[in-house]
């Protein structure tokens, strides 16, 4: 059975750089406060009307396809990971298919937030190994800037996120010592509301024991999209930062070690770890716990912020472009995010 390899990789980040000092125009914060808590110095914001989650994905995909030595017409499946789609529905996968004038191929959208790209890569890996598809375009793309609360009220969340896209083309390989060795996917919905965007939605009291019969019509009306939600900032993401941090620093090392153990490796064998760029402090904690040298972990959250599903392919692409990943290297990808979900992938480059 052939393994699947990343045959081409590309990234796209908007030209618009937004520094920590730029954010002080909208909220009470400062560069020192943001860097101390997140490690972030700046992020990129897409053009409000001219760039979308899909258009950024297309730019990253063009590069990945060219580097894979193939064409858009030869792509036979699309897997698109995002939490910020252009439309509530349809998903971005079909929009990429249209924009790139591809054949009438299948398009699958993945909603696993920060872990989305690794989940998408795992799905693509199974399709390649089964022989069903030969050229799969896997994308992670996010446009967070359109939906953040740029006030002091929302600063704990809004200072963290940025926009961008990354893409890879997955192909089969028969080459000895190359390809994805294994992927590992997990979830625990017990704390789903600790990192979530509740509205608009149809949840009512989703995490309680009550149902609609317990409410009168006026109360039910306020559960859905309403002026009250807008006035009370209920249309923005919510994050319990300490709760997320506490869980992440446990699950990150666990899922990395799971991948290594599955394939008979130890942490000393890792040539490059690409963690999801959630928070520099989380990455540094994981690096210290696993006793990895600085040159074995790649972080770029300082310049792009947290781009959730896009963060791993952007960082992976950048590390490869800088020559930090070479043929034969053992590369580990790991992510933790909303859900909670967490995942890892181990590959020989």
Cα–Cα distance between 250 and 66 in angstroms, integer?
38
- Same domain? 328 vs 276: yes
Residue 218: domain span: 198-235
Cα 43 → chain centroid: 15
Strand pairing class (77-81; 106-110): parallel
- Same domain? 124 vs 244: no
Which candidate in 135, 279, 306, 317 is catalytic? Answer: 306
- Same domain? 217 vs 263: no
Provide the residue count of the chain.
349
Cα–Cα distance between 170 and 148 in angstroms, integer?
33
- Same domain? 18 vs 99: yes
Predicted pLDDT of residue 207: 46
- Same domain? 162 vs 36: yes
Averaged confidence pLDDT in the chain: 91
- Same domain? 167 vs 228: no
- Same domain? 79 vs 166: yes
Query: pLDDT tens for residues 298-337?
Result: 999 999 999 999 999 999 999 999 999 999 999 999 999 9
Query: pLDDT tens for residues 127-139?
Result: 999 999 999 999 9
Give the least confident one: 33-37, 234-238, 260-264, 326-330. Answer: 234-238
How much is the CA Rg of the chain, to the nearest whole Å?
Answer: 20
Tell me: pLDDT of 211 over 70: no
What average pLDDT does this structure show over 133-150? 95
This prediction has a pTM of 0.92
- Same domain? 110 vs 213: no
Which candidate in 92, 114, 317, 332 is catalytic? Answer: 114
- Same domain? 186 vs 135: no
Cα–Cα distance between 258 and 182 in angstroms, integer?
10
- Same domain? 151 vs 37: yes
- Indicate if 276 belongs to the active site: yes
- Same domain? 222 vs 250: no
Domain count within the chain? 3
Which candidate in 184, 276, 279, 332 is catalytic? Answer: 276
Higher local confidence (pLDDT), 339 or 270: 270
Query: pLDDT tens for residues 168-203?
Result: 999 999 888 899 999 999 999 898 888 777 666 666
- Same domain? 317 vs 297: yes
* Backbone torsion region of residue 339, taken as left when φ is above 0, otherwise alpha when ψ lies between -120 and 50, otherwise beta: left
What average pLDDT does this structure show over 135-146? 97
- Indicate if 299 belongs to the active site: no
CATH at 272? 3.40.47.10
Residues 6+ away with beta carbon under 8 Å from 146: 46, 48, 84
Tell me: pLDDT of 216 over 70: no
- Indicate if 206 belongs to the active site: no
Q: Which residues of 99-129 are buried (b: 16+ CB within 10 A; e: fewer)?
A: bbebeebebbbbebbbbbbbbbbbbbbebbe
């Amino acid at each position: 059975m052939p393994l699947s390899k990343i045959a081409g990789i590309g990234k796209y980040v908007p030209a618009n750089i937004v520094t920590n000092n730029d954010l002080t125009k909208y909220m009470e914060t400062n560069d020192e406060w943001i860097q101390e808590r997140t490690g972030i110095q700046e992020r990129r914001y897409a053009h409000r009307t001219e760039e979308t989650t899909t258009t950024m994905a297309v730019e990253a995909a063009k590069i990945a396809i060219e580097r894979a030595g193939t064409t858009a017409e030869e792509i036979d499946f699309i897997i698109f990971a995002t939490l910020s789609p252009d439309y509530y529905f349809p998903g971005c996968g079909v929009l990429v298919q249209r924009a790139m004038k591809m054949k009438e191929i299948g398009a699958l959208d993945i909603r696993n937030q920060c872990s989305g790209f690794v989940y998408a890569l795992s799905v693509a890996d199974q399709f390649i190994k089964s022989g069903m598809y030969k050229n799969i375009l896997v994308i992670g793309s996010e446009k967070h800037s359109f939906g953040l609360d740029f006030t002091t009220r929302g600063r704990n969340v809004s200072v963290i996120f940025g926009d961008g896209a990354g893409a890879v083309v997955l192909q089969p390989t028969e080459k000895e010592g190359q390809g994805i060795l294994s992927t590992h996917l997990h979830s625990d919905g017990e704390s789903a509301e600790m990192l979530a965007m509740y509205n608009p939605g149809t949840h009512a009291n989703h995490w309680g024991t009550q149902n609609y019969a317990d409410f009168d019509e006026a109360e039910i009306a306020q559960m859905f999209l309403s002026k009250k939600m807008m006035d009370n900032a209920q249309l923005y993401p919510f994050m319990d930062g300490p709760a997320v941090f506490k869980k992440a620093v446990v699950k990150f090392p666990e899922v990395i070690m799971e991948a290594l153990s599955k394939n008979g490796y130890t942490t000393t064998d890792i040539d490059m770890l690409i963690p999801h760029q959630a928070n520099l402090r989380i990455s540094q904690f994981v690096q210290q716990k696993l006793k990895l040298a600085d040159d074995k972990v790649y972080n770029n959250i300082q310049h792009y912020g947290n781009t959730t599903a896009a963060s791993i392919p952007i960082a992976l692409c950048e590390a490869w472009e800088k020559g930090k990943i070479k043929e034969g290297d053992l590369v580990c990808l790991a992510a933790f995010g909303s859900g909670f979900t967490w995942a890892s992938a181990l590959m020989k480059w």
